[in-house]
Amino acid sequence: MSRYSALEVLKGGLTGQKHWQRAWRDPEPKQEYDAIIIGGGGHGLATAYYLAKLHGMSRIAVCEKGYLGGGNVGRNTTIVRSNYMLEDNAHFYEHGMKLWEELSQDINFNVMFSQRGIINLAHSDAQMDAFARRGNAMRLNGIDAELLTRDQVKEHLPMLDYSGKARFPVYGGLQQPRGGTARHDAVAWGYARAADMLGVDILQNCEVTGFDIHDGKVQGIQTTRGAIKSGKVGIAVAGNTSRVCALAGLNRLPIESHKLQAMVSEPLKPFIDTVCTFGAGHFYVSQSDKGGLVFGGDLDGYNSYAQRGNLPMVAHVLQCGMALMPAIGRIRLLRHWAGVMDMSMDGSPIISTTPVKGLYLNGGWCYGGFKATPASGWCFAHTVAQDRPHRLNEAFTLDRFERGYLIDEKGVGPIPALH
């Protein structure tokens, strides 16, 4: 298979780009694997890749019920950051940030990680203090952070409303310069291709319908493409976590499923050069390389597994958007859609062993799991391979809710929809 490089593309230009082969194979499921990862989203594919690359495992399968990357990894608003305050989060996401910075070269697929920075806007002194607390913690943890004044914000974001009409004037903001965006599909495809090159079987249209568990130990799974044996099964199905875990008898997870919408505008010439979040409402925005403004807001009003959203939330997000940036009034919304979010009780993820031996869980990503993809795959691979967490995901256990070791970055408590 050809390595991806500019030279190969140029060569292809002379031969009608005919030399490219499949980015990943379409294999038949084998009878048995050393490890099976359920879910061909970003996390599942990354896990398979790191298992094969770092843990010397070769017989690995990823089971995906539809087409790979069809879940949240291909629906999100692509923001990547490690601007966390709480220790456990900070170290985990910063590890991820470092993986992001080398990801394109590592998997030989340009995931277009653009470190254009992210600015959280503050609209009151109290908010500035809260941001300072987080920013100071970031700095002390060795993560980049800048506390911007209003004037500095204006330099980065000239299109915001700085007139006297702004209902919640901008006071300043917390910036993480190394944060940014990446091309979400490329992350799924790139990990898939890299994993496939290491021999991982990616089984699309292969829905997991049951587990074979004996004496508290997993033996294999049932799928729409037949039974497959394995003593190690990792679940990484994001919005479907509760449903898949129920198949394994894990019935009451600290997770609720909600839908979150994303929106994109018509393509425009460069309009906004960084990622920006509104601090007085539900709106955040960045611009894709294709030119669309990509934005989103809060969860829809009721739980659902439907991957589509409703209009009231779109209207709400745009009330916020127009309040912050009245310059978007004449720009048009091109598409909006939704993904199902696995909202956890404290807003932080679970990368953990489970009460079933050989069964591992990766979930509870809320709306922040895209940025976690590399770190999550990396830590989950470690957990699956070694049957115990890595130091970086030690805190993200399934039983922390029982024990009260919450990692509540937002401080809103055990109401999943609020995180």
* Strands 201-203, 60-63: pairing kind: parallel
For ligand FAD, which residue of 244, 248, 320, 379 counts as binding (CB under 6 A)?
A: 244
Which one, 272 or 385, has the nearer CB to another protein? 272
Q: Distances in Å between the alpha carbon of 229 and those of 31, 161, 210, 217, 245?
A: 6, 59, 12, 12, 18
Q: Which of 396, 106, 72 is nearest to 261 (CA)?
A: 72
Residues in 251-310 at the binding interface with another protein, rule: CB under 8 A: 265-271, 280-281, 287, 289-291, 306, 308, 310
Please report how close the Cβ of residue 23 comes to ligand FAD at its closest, in angstroms.
17
Greatest alpha-carbon span in the chain: 68
For another protein, which residue of 112, 227, 247, 417 counts as binding (CB under 8 A)?
A: 112
Q: Using the rule CB under 6 A, is 77 a contact of ligand FAD? A: yes
Going edge to edge, which strands form the sheet with 284-287? 146-149, 172-176, 118-122, 275-277, 284-287, 292-299
Please report how close the Cβ of residue 30 comes to another protein at its closest, in angstroms.
19
Are the C-beta atoms of residues 356 and 248 closer than 8 Å to each other?
yes
Angle at 122 between CA 77 and CA 74, to 5 degrees: 5
Of ligand FAD, another protein, none, which one sits near residue 227, judging by CB under 5 to 8 A according to partner kind?
none
Q: How far apart are CA 51 and CA 53, in angstroms?
A: 6
Residues in 271-330 at the binding interface with ligand FAD, rule: CB under 6 A: 296
> Given CA atoms 112, 196, 246, 413 in this order, what sign does their dihedral have?
negative
For another protein, which residue of 12, 27, 177, 231 counts as binding (CB under 8 A)?
A: 12
317-346 per-residue burial string, b: 16 or more CB within 10 A, e: under 16? bbebbebbbeebeeeebeebebbbbbbbbb
For another protein, which residue of 190, 220, 364, 374 counts as binding (CB under 8 A)?
A: 190
Residue appearing with tokens 């568990």: 213
Which one, 211 or 283, has the nearer CB to another protein? 283
For ligand FAD, which residue of 53, 71, 145, 400 counts as binding (CB under 6 A)?
A: 71
Are the C-beta atoms of residues 364 and 318 closer than 8 Å to each other?
no
Please report how close the Cβ of residue 354 comes to ligand FAD at its closest, in angstroms.
16
Which one, 71 or 220, has the nearer CB to ligand FAD? 71
Residues in 178-217 at the binding interface with ligand FAD, rule: CB under 6 A: 207-208
What is the token pair recorded at 59?
């017989």
Of ligand FAD, another protein, none, which one sits near residue 208, judging by CB under 5 to 8 A according to partner kind?
ligand FAD
Residues in 117-146 at the binding interface with another protein, rule: CB under 8 A: 123-126, 128-133, 135-137, 139-142, 145-146
Per CB under 6 A, which region of 11-19, 70-78, 298-306, 316-324 contacts ligand FAD?
A: 70-78
Q: Using the rule CB under 8 A, is 168 a contact of another protein? A: yes
Instruction: Give the number of other CB atoms < 10 A from CB of residue 70.
Output: 17
Q: Using the rule CB under 6 A, is 82 a contact of ligand FAD? A: no
Which one, 219 or 310, has the nearer CB to another protein? 310
Residue 267 CA to its chain's centroid (Å)? 24
Q: Using the rule CB under 6 A, is 377 a contact of ligand FAD? A: no
- Residue 146-175 contact track with ligand FAD, rule CB under 6 A, x = bound: ------------------------------
The secondary structure of 79-114 as a DSSP string is EE-----SHHHHHHHHHHHHHHHTHHHHHTS----B
What are the residues binding ligand FAD (CB under 6 A)? 38-44, 63-66, 70-73, 75-79, 207-208, 236-240, 244, 260-262, 296, 339, 341, 365, 367-371
